[in-house]
């Protein structure tokens, strides 16, 4: 497959690069894990196959040989040789086909999967592009991405095939849940470093995503969260979904390309499903944090 146009940002992503945090390399991987997994399932790939993660559309590619593809994550329209496909429809494309991804009206990151996965060289056991660590393939115009052999142990998930684009998403579809909705969190591990008023503000106030956000972290604007403990915190491990609070009191939600450690207290951690929804939120989106049930 040849890259004709990258759009604002297109990177290779897979399930992640695990087991290297002692080297300062975070897992990385797809920012929206749910949409990534759904894309592979729809084309019959095994879990962990590499896909393209496309931010705000604009991607255009051509295929040298027949392929089976699907687009998930947003409501962006996938166009094959000028013909619009349906929402999350698995389609066969002919040799020489030109495929483009439109700009989504809802959501931020789309996932283009091809049966067989993108067989680019792995680095430290993963094909993911980690923008913070500078690891992985930089997708550029005229780059040629090899496609792997299909796995005959996995059949495409036909549950969502051929759904008309005009049909609204089902009630439980990720596309039916706006990113601006409440994000569920588990408090801690350092919530005791904040005043009771700060915890109350964190769980009751509205926050907005600022333009200074990317796959490393979402910087939020809202009420400043006051610390009860002013000591320096030794750097400690952080995970995707960690809500870290720097000295200015404005939270940062770590995303897939987050650093391995952080020196500011983590007031809460998003649930995996909420971390996926945060991955689809654009600058300017507003939301609140709520405690996860249980």
Q: Which of 52-61, 171-180, 257-266 has the lowest mean pLDDT?
A: 171-180
* Residue extent(s) of CATH 2.40.100.10 domains in the chain: 183-291
DSSP state of 123: B
The confidence score (pLDDT) of residue 181 equals 76
Instruction: Summarize pLDDT for 196-233 with one digit per residue, the tens.
Output: 999 999 999 999 999 999 999 999 999 999 999 999 99
pLDDT higher at 183 or 23 = 183
Percent of the chain past pLDDT 70, that is, above it, reads: 90
The answer, yes or no, to whether residue 59 has pLDDT greater than 70, is yes
Class of domain 183-291: mainly beta
26: CB partners within 8 A, 6+ apart: 17, 130, 132, 133, 257, 258, 259, 260
The confidence score (pLDDT) of residue 153 equals 67
The confidence score (pLDDT) of residue 294 equals 79
Task: Give the total residue count for the chain.
Answer: 294
Comparing CA positions, the residue from 114, 80, 113 lying closest to residue 99 is 80
The answer, yes or no, to whether residue 170 has pLDDT greater than 60, is no
What distance in Å separates the CA atoms of residue 185 and residue 125, rounded to the nearest whole number? 30
Comparing CA positions, the residue from 246, 242, 233 lying closest to residue 260 is 242
Token pair listed for 14: 């897979």
Instruction: Summarize pLDDT for 102-147 with one digit per residue, the tens.
Output: 999 999 999 999 999 999 999 999 999 998 999 998 899 999 999 9
Instruction: Summarize pLDDT for 17-27 with one digit per residue, the tens.
Output: 999 999 899 99
pTM of the model: 0.91
Cα–Cα separations (whole angstroms), residue 109 to 31, 128, 178: 8, 15, 14
């Amino acid at each position: 497959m040849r890259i004709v146009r990258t759009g604002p940002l297109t990177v290779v992503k897979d399930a992640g690069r695990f087991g290297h945090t002692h080297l300062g390399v975070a897992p990385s991987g797809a920012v929206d894990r749910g949409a990534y997994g759904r894309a592979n399932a729809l084309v019959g790939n095994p879990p962990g196959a590499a896909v393209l993660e496309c931010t705000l559309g604009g991607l255009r590619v051509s295929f040298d040989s027949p392929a089976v593809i699907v687009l998930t994550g947003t409501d962006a329209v996938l166009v094959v040789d000028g013909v619009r496909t349906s929402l999350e429809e698995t389609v066969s494309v002919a040799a020489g086909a030109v495929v483009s991804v439109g700009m989504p009206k809802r959501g931020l990151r789309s996932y283009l999967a091809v049966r067989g996965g993108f067989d680019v060289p792995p680095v430290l056991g993963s094909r993911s592009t980690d923008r913070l660590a500078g690891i992985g393939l930089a997708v550029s115009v005229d780059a040629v991405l090899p496609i792997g052999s299909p796995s005959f142990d996995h059949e495409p998930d036909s549950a969502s095939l051929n759904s008309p684009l005009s049909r609204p998403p089902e009630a439980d579809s990720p596309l039916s849940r706006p990113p601006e909705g409440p994000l569920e969190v588990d408090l801690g591990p350092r919530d005791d470093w904040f005043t009771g008023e700060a915890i109350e503000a964190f769980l009751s106030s509205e926050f907005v995503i600022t333009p200074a956000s990317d796959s490393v972290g979402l910087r939020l604007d809202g009420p400043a969260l006051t610390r009860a403990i002013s000591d320096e915190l030794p750097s400690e491990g952080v995970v995707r979904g960690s809500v870290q609070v720097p000295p200015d009191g404005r939270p940062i939600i770590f995303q897939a390309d987050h650093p391995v450690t952080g020196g500011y207290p983590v007031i809460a951690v998003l649930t995996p499903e909420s971390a996926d929804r945060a991955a689809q939120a654009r600058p300017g989106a507003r939301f609140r944090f709520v405690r996860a049930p249980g």
